[in-house]
Amino acid sequence: MNTKNRDEFDYQAYMKDNAPDLTQVIRGPEARQQRRELAKTRITIRIDEDTVKKFKQMVPDGRGYQSLINQALREWLVAQGVKELLQEELPSILEQAMSSVQ
């Protein structure tokens, strides 16, 4: 059911009529682990020891450093996309700016 465009949607009434089947709900650490495994791809990668140490120092108790590395990679990819966009569009933007100044 698509509810994004319905301002009058009553969640509580909907859940009364369409309650989840509790026998199908999986809870606990095994379920969380399964969701994590489905959400991310497990790989083996070699990273310089000093780089790993820096990331471990950036988080409390060194826990979550892999997520921090993942976030850094995401930000790098976004920056690359912006860089490519600028390389493609900047010449025409500059040309338009120069023609409007003259």
In the block, which residue shows the tokens 């682990």? 33
Does 69 score more than 90 pLDDT? yes
d(CA 95, CA 77) in angstroms, rounded, equals 28
Query: Which pLDDT score is estimated for 57?
Result: 94
> Tokens representing 102?
């003259």
Name, in order, each residue with C-beta under 8 angstroms of 27's C-beta and a sequence gap of 6 or more: none
User: What average pLDDT does the segment 53-78 reach?
Assistant: 92
Q: Looking at the whole model, is its pTM more than 0.75? A: no
d(CA 102, CA 100) in angstroms, rounded, equals 6
d(CA 45, CA 64) in angstroms, rounded, equals 17
* pLDDT tens, position by position, 43-59: 899 999 999 999 999 99
In the block, which residue shows the tokens 């790993």? 52
- Average pLDDT along the chain: 85
* H-state helical runs in 1-102: 11-17, 29-39, 49-57, 65-101
